[in-house]
Amino acid sequence: MSSNEKVVLQAEDVRRAVVRIAHEIVERNPRPPAPVLIGIHRRGAFLAQRLRVQLEGLLDAEVPLGDLDIGFYRDDLQRRPDAPVVHASHIDFDVAGRTVVIVDDVMFTGRTARAAIEALFDYGRPARVQLAVLADRGHRELPIRPDYVGKNLPTSRAEHVHVRVSELDGVDEVAIEASSGEGASAETSTMESTA
C-alpha cells in the first residue's frame, strides 16, 4: 500500500458486503433454478467464489460457477501499449435460458462490464444478465449500472481504486489512491494495474 492510499473497506467490511450482495441476489432471484455466477478475471473470479459459498448456503442448492477473461473483448485493445494478459475462461455449463450474475471488483466506466456481456454471449443466450460489484466508483461512459453493489465510492477521475483479495494479495481491502495525473481513463483496480 502506498502512503497516499486510504483504506475504505477492510477485511470485515468486504466480508459483510459479499454476504449482503448474496442476500440481495436471493431476494431478486427466489425461484429455481439458482442463478449462475461468472466472475471476471482476476479479482471478480475470487469474489464470485465467495458469493457462491454464501448463495449455496442460502438456497440449499448448487450454484454453477464460472470465470471469464475479457481481454480480447475490450474496446481499448488497439490503444493499449501492451498485449493483454490472457487467462483461460471456464464456463462448463449451459448459460442459455439462465439468470447469470457477472461479478467484478470495481465498476468505473462500464467498459469492462460491456466486454464481459459480449464475451458471455459467445457461450449462449441467458434469460437475464445481472451485475454484482464490490465497489462502484461512478464516472460511467456507457449506460451500464450494477444490480448489486457492495460499496459506492465517490471518487474523482484522477483517483485509483485498488481492490485487494487475500487469494492474490494476502489481504482483503479496498483502498483509494490519490493520483498526480488527471483523467484516468480505464477501470482501475489492482487487477488491471498489474495485469
For 107-119, how does the pLDDT look when each residue is reduced to its tens digit (9 = 90+)?
999 999 999 999 9
Share of the chain above pLDDT 90, in %: 79
Q: What does the pLDDT read at residue 66?
A: 98
Output the pTM of the full model.
0.88
Alpha-carbon distances, residue 153 vs 8, 70, 109, 135, 150 (angstroms): 9, 24, 13, 7, 10
Q: What does the pLDDT read at residue 12?
A: 98
Report the interhelical angle of 11-28 vs 43-59 (nearest 10°): 60
72 against 29, higher pLDDT:
29
194 pLDDT more than 80: no
Q: What does the pLDDT read at residue 88?
A: 84
**DSSP E strand stretches across 41-115:** 65-68, 99-107
Share of the chain above pLDDT 70, in %: 85
Q: Would you place residue 147 in the very low, low, confident or very high pLDDT band (cuts 50, 70, 90)?
A: very high
Q: What does the pLDDT read at residue 181?
A: 52
Q: What does the pLDDT read at residue 87?
A: 73
Average pLDDT of the chain is: 89
Q: What does the pLDDT read at residue 112?
A: 94
Q: State the average pLDDT over residues 58-75.
A: 91
190 pLDDT more than 50: no
* DSSP for residue 31: S
41 pLDDT more than 80: yes
Rounded Cα distance between 110 and 7, Å, is: 23
